[in-house]
Amino acid sequence: MKVYPGRIPTICKEIVEALMSESLIEVMPEMVEEVELDVASILKEYNRMDREITDRGRDHIAERGLPYS
């Protein structure tokens, strides 16, 4: 799944709000921003790993002379 970097703050805010509204997590009001930053870190790491895996796949395909499709 593609997660666009520019959308990460909005996605994080919506995730945290949804979890709080369903009482799945309890967050003190002054800590909401910190929780959103934690979720953003997870999504950024996901993007980094996705990019790394994609690059490795491209490298292996190129090494074997296979078509990318």
Residues 6+ apart with CB under 8 A from 46: 3
Q: What is the pLDDT of residue 44?
A: 97
Q: Residue 69: is its pLDDT beyond 80?
A: no
Q: What is the DSSP letter of 48?
A: H
Residue the block writes with tokens 């309890």: 26
pLDDT tens per residue across span 11-28? 999 999 999 999 999 999
What CA–CA distance (Å, rounded) separates 15 from 42? 12
